Amino acid sequence: FLTLRWFSGELVQSCGHIIPESPVLALGSNFTALCVLNESCLDFGNIYASQIIWKIKNRVVPKEQYREINRTVSSVTFNDTSSLATPLTCNILADGQIEQNIYGITVTVGLPPEKPKNLSCIVHQVSKLTYPMNCTWNPGRHTFLDTHFRLKYRWLQENFPDCIPKDVNNSCTITEVQFFVNMKVWVEAANALGKAESDPLILDPIEIVKPLPPHNLSVNSGVLPTVLKLSWENRISAAVMKLKFNIRYRIMGDTNWMQVPPEDTASPRTSFSVQGLRPYTEYVFSIRCMKEDGVGYWSDWSEEKTGVTTEDKPSKGPPIWRIIDVSHSPPSWSVHLMWKALEPFEANGVILQYEVTVRAKSSLSSPPEKYSVNTTNLTLKMPNGTYEVTVVARNKVGASPPSVLLIPANNSKAPVKNVRTLPKDGKLWVGWTAPNSYVLKYVIEWCLVSNSSDCIIEWQNEPGNVQGTYLKGDIKPFKCYLITVYPLYADGQGSGQSVKAYLQQDRPSKGPTVQTKKVGKAEAVLTWNHLTVDEQNGFIRSYTIFYKTIDGNETAVTVDPSKTEYTLSSLASDTLYTVRMMAYTDEGGRSGPDFTFTTQKFEDIFMYGIDLWMTSDFA
């Protein structure tokens, strides 16, 4: 700063000052500052107001914004404080045109606080006797100034100390509140440019409580296999608040929750019996609560507890099917009976054994054969004929309804038609055209066709009113499956209709290996073996034979995939040929190894004569 110094007293005096000193200004408003020179400096320093230069930081303010009021006072005006920065300095050109600073001030630009909006409060129960109230609000726009918020509250004529937020500007927690009285709550915002207040809330804190969830939840099985009884403790006194409840539950391992109808738990209680459950099933339970009249907030869900319903007798019999091995001498059958284990929700407990009954329909007077097994299959030797087989599953509570399978002496009923398949969404769909007669149900058999393993039968039942289904097994891509559909009637069954299918095709794993069967002067007979089913990776749609001489162009011939032999003709004599063969599926082809052969220089007359003699001799 430019100063005047008296050396005798070591007094230092500034040659001027700015009015106002360190102002706080509203963003976008007008502002005028005055630089006032001290009279004592005028003659000593030979300085006057006309020499004053105003600066923002180090940038000179345009002279159009200056005004010389008198020889000691210069003003500067800003029509919009948005352009202001700090510091604002008053400077002067002294003798020798040397610019010196007279004085500087800090200018703060900001906005007055807006009216806080969206004030809301919630009382969180944190223990049986502790109920702090947390209020939140929208503080409004950024003011660019130190803006202080206070949460104010009172009831009746009694005021309480303000709640001052810590490290935030949009929430504050009042540690203690009084229930059953109307409280006035509002927010005040203040900074150097003004104050603003929110609209007040008038509320009884009991109406905004979020209670603690019930605890010590226990789950016990009842007398009935479809009921579990829940008991719990509430952590808020009934004298303070009467509660209603939500109870949710799910099967263990399932992610989907079910809920007890809210109207069934809309009154104070500490226990409830959940009905309509599956027997012998583990369930997970959780519970929450809120004020009985629905005013306020739901608690969080309680900790989860599990319980298992008791066993009940199986709800249905196991699906049953058979594979028959026919022996022609003497006329008898080897019947492999097989059935599927019931799903847990059908078994309703631990299956202890299966009871199989076989009755010959041709001899109703003969007693039925009965067997008890703990496996899901049974092999029997029996004469050819018609039989009725029943299977029941038994647990410790009782037996399932019987599953019945009629094994006819022959498949004399109408079969299905037009069996077809379609891969879709990673699954294999099987469809068919139903017979005209009423079908009780369908059995779909399938097995993986492989040259390295047996065709192990899998199967499933489908209702008689459907004409298509997805296979329910582990169907693998690039593998061939043999699928057979049987219609079952009340008095017999139709013969099975089969189709081969792939879930997904790929190029063959290899191409055919071609060889020559016979080579002449102008032709060669090529032969090859079909690829094994494990090598095909799909349906072989065609073969292509490629052949060429050493320096000639390659020729391609397409061959029907059912063939294993082909004759190349119009070949050049005494010439080396290279031949290879490709096999194609719907997804592309793969080539086999190259094979070479040389055509004969002359026709083999001797062999031709033998062939002709043998042909005439046996004609």
DSSP string, 167-229: S-SSEEEES---TTS-EEEEEEEEETTEEEEPPPEEE-GGGGEEPPPPEEEEEEE-SSTT-EE
Those residues whose C-beta lies under 8 Å from the C-beta of residue 210, and which sit 6 or more positions away, are: 122, 123, 124, 125, 290, 296, 297, 298, 299
Mean pLDDT within 261-276: 96
- Span 122-166, pLDDT tens digits: 999 999 889 999 999 999 999 999 999 999 999 877 778 999 999
Same domain, 124 and 202: yes
Same domain, 237 and 275: yes
Show which of 407, 437, 458 is a domain's final residue: 407
Name the amino acid, one letter, at 366: S
Q: Within 10 Å of residue 465's Cβ, how many Cβ atoms?
A: 10
pLDDT at 615 over 60: no
Same domain, 195 and 254: no
In a domain, 173, yes or no: yes
Contact 310, 228 (CB under 8 A): no
- The residue count of the chain comes to 619
Residue-averaged pLDDT of the chain: 90
| Measured distance CA(211)–CA(243) in Å, rounded | 9
| Measured distance CA(557)–CA(546) in Å, rounded | 7
pLDDT at 611 over 60: no
Same domain, 519 and 600: yes
pLDDT of residue 86: 85
Those residues whose C-beta lies under 8 Å from the C-beta of residue 382, and which sit 6 or more positions away, are: 332, 333, 335, 358, 360
Instruction: Pick the closest to residue 444 from 427, 462, 429, 467 (CA basis).
Output: 462
In a domain, 617, yes or no: no
Between these two residues, 42 and 188, which has the higher pLDDT value? 188
Mean pLDDT within 546-560: 94
In a domain, 175, yes or no: yes
Same domain, 525 and 586: yes
pLDDT of residue 11: 37
In a domain, 572, yes or no: yes
pLDDT of residue 409: 75
Report the CATH number at residue 148: 2.60.40.10
pLDDT at 606 over 70: no
pLDDT of residue 44: 63
Same domain, 398 and 346: yes
Name the amino acid, one letter, at 292: E
pLDDT of residue 547: 96
Q: What φ, ψ does residue 155 adopt, rounded to 5°?
A: -140, 145
pLDDT of residue 190: 95
In a domain, 255, yes or no: yes
* Half-sphere exposure (Cβ direction) of 296: Cα atoms closer than 13 Å: 26
Show which of 91, 110, 129 is a domain's final residue: 110
Mean pLDDT within 480-498: 93
Same domain, 477 and 522: no
Same domain, 403 and 421: no
107-121, 406-420, 539-553: the lowest-pLDDT one:
406-420
Domain of 11, in residue numbers: 3-110
Q: Provide, rounded to the nearest whole percent, the portion of the chain with pLDDT above 90.
A: 76
pLDDT at 180 over 70: yes
Same domain, 527 and 590: yes
pLDDT level of residue 527 (50, 70, 90 thresholds): very high
pLDDT at 395 over 90: yes
In a domain, 507, yes or no: no
Strands 497-502 and 3-6, by their bridges, are unpaired
Number of domains in the chain: 6
Q: What φ, ψ does residue 285 adopt, rounded to 5°?
A: -120, 150
- CA dihedral of residues 80, 86, 91, 97 (deg, nearest 10): -100
pLDDT of residue 9: 36
pLDDT level of residue 408 (50, 70, 90 thresholds): confident
Between these two residues, 94 and 254, which has the higher pLDDT value? 254
Same domain, 226 and 301: yes
pLDDT level of residue 364 (50, 70, 90 thresholds): low
pTM for this prediction = 0.72
Same domain, 431 and 385: no
Mean pLDDT within 267-294: 96
Instruction: Pick the closest to residue 122 from 2, 297, 247 (CA basis).
Output: 297
- Span 217-251, pLDDT tens digits: 999 998 899 999 999 999 998 889 999 999 999 99
Show which of 153, 173, 208 is a domain's final residue: 208
């109230």: which residue's tokens? 133
- Span 507-516, pLDDT tens digits: 999 999 999 9
pLDDT of residue 453: 87
Same domain, 106 and 7: yes
- Span 33-47, pLDDT tens digits: 999 998 877 766 677
pLDDT level of residue 614 (50, 70, 90 thresholds): very low
In a domain, 314, yes or no: no
pLDDT at 616 over 70: no
Q: Provide, rounded to the nearest whole percent, the portion of the chain with pLDDT above 70.
A: 93
Helix (H, G, I), strand (E, B) or coil at 237: coil
- Span 285-339, pLDDT tens digits: 999 999 999 999 999 999 999 999 999 999 999 999 999 887 655 678 889 999 9
pLDDT of residue 7: 32
In a domain, 613, yes or no: no
| Measured distance CA(50)–CA(546) in Å, rounded | 104
